[in-house]
Amino acid sequence: MSVIPEDLEDILNKRSFAHIATIGPKGEPHTSPVWIDWDGQYLKFSQTTTRQKYRNLQREPRLAISALDPEQPYRYIEVRGRVARVEDDPDRAFINRMAKKYMDADEYPYDQPGDHRVIVYVEPQHTTRM
Q: What is the dihedral of CA 83, 13, 105, 98, to 10 degrees?
A: 10
Residues 6+ apart with CB under 8 A from 110: none
pLDDT tens sequence across 44-57: 999 999 999 999 99
pTM of the model: 0.95
Residue pair 66/78 in contact by the 8 Å Cβ criterion: yes
pLDDT tens sequence across 4-48: 999 999 999 999 999 999 999 999 999 999 999 999 999 999 999
Third-level CATH fold of 6-124: Pnp Oxidase; Chain A (2.30.110)
In the chain, where the domains are located: 6-124
